[in-house]
């Protein structure tokens, strides 16, 4: 994993946390960033391995599922005291436990229990399709890759124009078949990045102007926040609008790894490594603390305390998970 991208994970997790804690309008672009980054990183890590004769698709999928499901089930059980659970809800509970909730276009299902786990349901779906989609895209020539990109953008734009606004949240924002577009854009972005990295002129430019690359990262993040505030609530449900700036942010950070920089800070990288655990627990922590009277009228105190508790829990889980893998 490129250290700069690991650090960026934590920065965007903070935006997502603030979205849930104080309604900061950075949650939608953060989710888009993570989906695109997932395709980008999976391509860089597995492109060569997919073509190897000894590559086992089953082993790849199981390794990913063992990373996701244990913490999901812990958070699912932790969410039970917060919901009105009855025997009629067993079907919703089962769908949630299997991480299938985002396939069902009802907010009472895809936002059930630990509401943020819908993102994980989509990520698990991407895990299953990556070996097939990756081999197909990697086998295409340059023109073929461009054709895939144009097809994804055009079909996505048509869906955004034709789909009634009332269905955007369930279909364009949550549904894994549509959010697959973000993931595929990440795959295509990784292929483009590899070409840039091999280009001698680009390599010389990156080495000669390291400060400019760092500024590109900062400006792209700032512009993403500004875009989030400029878009209407309906347009925020079309995450593809964030693709250009997300692409600039990710590629700039990846290119910056040549010269180092502030994103290689050890603390930021360590925090980025626990971003998945932070994402899974933070919403539950906020919901629990919201029920404590002292936090009802002091949102700033609630934000500070829940951030600290979420960070502590995620660091502990990441440490325990690392020790378990080593043993």
The reported pLDDT for the residue numbered 124 is 96
Mean pLDDT score of the chain: 90
Question: Which pTM does this prediction carry?
Answer: 0.93
pLDDT in tens, 213-271: 888 999 999 999 999 999 998 999 999 999 999 999 999 999 887 777 778 888 988 99
Note down the domain range covering 317.
Answer: 3-326
* Number of residues that this document lists for the chain: 327
Comparing 84 with 25, the larger pLDDT belongs to: 25
The reported pLDDT for the residue numbered 229 is 93
pLDDT at position 69 over 90: yes
pLDDT in tens, 169-220: 999 999 999 999 999 999 999 999 998 888 888 878 778 778 888 889 999 9
The reported pLDDT for the residue numbered 142 is 86
pLDDT at position 153 over 70: yes
Residue 268 to residues 10, 24, 67, 188, Cα–Cα distance (Å): 7, 22, 21, 27
pLDDT-derived band at 322 (thresholds 50, 70, 90) equals low
pLDDT above 70: percentage of residues in the chain:
97
Contacts of 102 (CB under 8 A, 6+ apart): 110, 118, 121, 122, 125, 174, 175, 176
Of the candidates 180, 187, 160, the residue with the CA atom closest to the CA atom of residue 241: 160
DSSP state of 81: G
Q: Give the residue ranges of DSSP H helices in 3-85.
A: 3-22, 27-50, 57-79
The reported pLDDT for the residue numbered 89 is 76
Q: At 315, list the tokens.
A: 């660091």
pLDDT at position 323 over 70: no
Q: How many domains does the chain have?
A: 1
The reported pLDDT for the residue numbered 326 is 61
Residue with tokens 């500004």: 226
CB atoms inside a 10 Å sphere around CB 257 = 17
pLDDT at position 131 over 70: yes
Q: Give 17: exposed, middle or buried? Use CB within 10 Å, 0-12, 13-18, 19+.
A: buried
Residue 207 to residues 21, 55, 155, 227, 256, Cα–Cα distance (Å): 40, 35, 38, 30, 9
Averaged pLDDT, 28-39: 95
Cα distance between residue 299 and residue 312, in whole Å: 20
pLDDT in tens, 87-97: 557 888 999 99
Of the candidates 118, 71, 42, the residue with the CA atom closest to the CA atom of residue 274: 71
Residue 256 to residues 188, 201, 209, 237, Cα–Cα distance (Å): 19, 15, 10, 31
Cα distance between residue 318 and residue 323, in whole Å: 9
């Amino acid at each position: 994993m490129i250290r700069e991208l690991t650090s960026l994970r934590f920065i965007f997790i903070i935006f997502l946390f603030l979205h849930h804690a104080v309604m900061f309008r950075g949650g939608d672009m953060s989710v888009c960033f993570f989906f695109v980054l997932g395709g980008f990183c999976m391509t860089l890590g597995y492109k060569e391995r997919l073509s190897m004769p000894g590559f086992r698709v089953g082993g790849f999928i199981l390794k990913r599922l063992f990373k996701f499901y244990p913490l999901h089930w812990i958070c699912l059980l932790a969410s039970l005291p917060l919901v009105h659970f009855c025997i009629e809800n067993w079907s919703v509970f089962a769908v949630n436990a299997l991480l299938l909730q985002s396939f069902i276009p009802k907010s009472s299902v895809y936002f059930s229990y630990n509401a943020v786990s819908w993102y994980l349901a989509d990520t698990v779906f991407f895990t299953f399709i990556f070996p097939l989609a990756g081999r197909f895209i990697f086998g295409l020539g340059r023109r073929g890759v461009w054709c895939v990109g144009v097809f994804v953008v055009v079909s996505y734009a048509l869906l955004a124009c034709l789909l009634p606004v009332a269905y955007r949240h369930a279909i364009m924002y949550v549904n894994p078949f549509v959010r697959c577009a973000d993931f595929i854009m990440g795959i295509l972005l990784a292929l483009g990045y590899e070409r840039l990295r091999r280009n001698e002129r680009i390599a010389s430019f990156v080495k000669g102007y390291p400060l400019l690359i760092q500024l590109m990262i900062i400006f792209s993040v700032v512009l993403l926040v500004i875009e989030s505030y400029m878009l209407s609530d309906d347009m925020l449900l079309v995450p593809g609008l964030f693709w250009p700036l997300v692409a600039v942010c990710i590629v700039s950070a990846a290119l910056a790894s040549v010269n180092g920089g502030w994103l290689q800070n050890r603390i930021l990288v360590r925090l980025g490594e626990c971003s998945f655990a932070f994402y899974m627990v933070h919403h539950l922590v906020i919901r629990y603390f919201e029920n404590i009277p002292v936090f009802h009228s002091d949102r700033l105190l609630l934000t500070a305390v829940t951030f600290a508790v979420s960070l502590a829990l995620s660091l502990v889980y990441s440490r325990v998970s690392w020790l378990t893998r080593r043993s």
